[in-house]
Amino acid sequence: MAKPMTKTQLVAALAEEMGADKKAAGAALDAMTNLITREVSGGGAVTLPGVGKIYCRERPERMVRNPATGEQFKKEADKVVKMTIAKALKDSVNA
């Protein structure tokens, strides 16, 4: 498995793809990240065409087990961020 792309590498690749400088590409990436965070935190969802859909899902209260001690305890209801991968991306990876 290849190493994940760092933010610096992503900004450089984005700048090259956009034909812009790294400062503009970094600002665009930060703006997009902030927009996605704000929307998903508010209970909405964001669809990135060709990539997938990012959304927040509520998990109910449930019983969980501490694997170290075997002790069971009740975990409160919480929210978790999920992502559904687009079919186009799945197909391109498996092609």
User: Residue 1 pLDDT more than 80?
Assistant: no
Interatomic CA distance for residues 95 and 88, integer angstroms? 10
First to last CA, the chain: 17
Q: What is the pLDDT of residues 4-54, one digit of tens each?
A: 999 999 999 999 999 999 999 999 999 999 999 999 999 999 999 999 999
50 near 44, Cβ under 8 Å?
no
CATH superfamily ID and name for 45-95: IHF-like DNA-binding proteins (4.10.520.10)
Write down the pTM of the prediction: 0.78
Q: Choose among 16, 46, 15: nearest CA to 33.
A: 46
Q: Which helix (H) or strand (E) holds 87?
A: helix 87-94
The domain locations on the chain are 1-42, 45-95
Q: State the greatest distance between any 2 C-alpha atoms of the chain, in Å, as a whole number.
A: 56
